[in-house]
Amino acid sequence: MRRLLAHTADLRAELAAPDLAGLHAEAVALVRETLVGSSPVAAREERRFARAGEDEAERFFRFVRELVYLFDAEGFVPAAARLEGDDAVVAGERFDPLRHVFERQIKALTRHRFRLERGPDGVRAELVFDL
């Protein structure tokens, strides 16, 4: 589940999933939709990186921040993700103006109002992106 929440000058979103792997998949979908809308994105290449951080919330925050960085640095648009131990593997492809419609630029993921919580229905996170 993803829903956009009202917030001035930024994009604020709440993500929910039954487990942490599902929450990472929701984050990939959110970043992809923010960057390229409904443009199809194929899993042509993979990027692997360590999910570093002292706790689950910090590791998730850094994961989402890495998704933003991959687009900024390489034009890499995420399509899917999987967790492998302490690593995250993100599949996707480089932005192709013939196949992708650029919707909006994400400047950064902010720590403002960031939260990650576990509950009886799974895991929830709230994110704010500076656009």
Per-residue pLDDT of the chain (131 residues; tens, 9 = 90+): 787 766 566 889 999 999 999 999 999 999 999 999 999 999 999 999 998 889 999 999 999 999 999 999 999 999 999 999 999 999 999 999 999 999 999 999 999 889 999 999 999 999 999 98
Q: Which CATH number fits domain 2-130: 3.30.530.20, 3.40.50.300, 3.10.180.10, 3.55.10.10?
A: 3.55.10.10
Q: What distance lies between CA 78 and its chain's CA centroid?
A: 8
Listed residue (111, 70, 113) closest to 88, CA to CA: 70
What does the alpha-carbon distance between residue 123 and residue 20 come to, in Å, rounded to a whole number?
Answer: 6
Q: What global pTM score does this model have?
A: 0.90
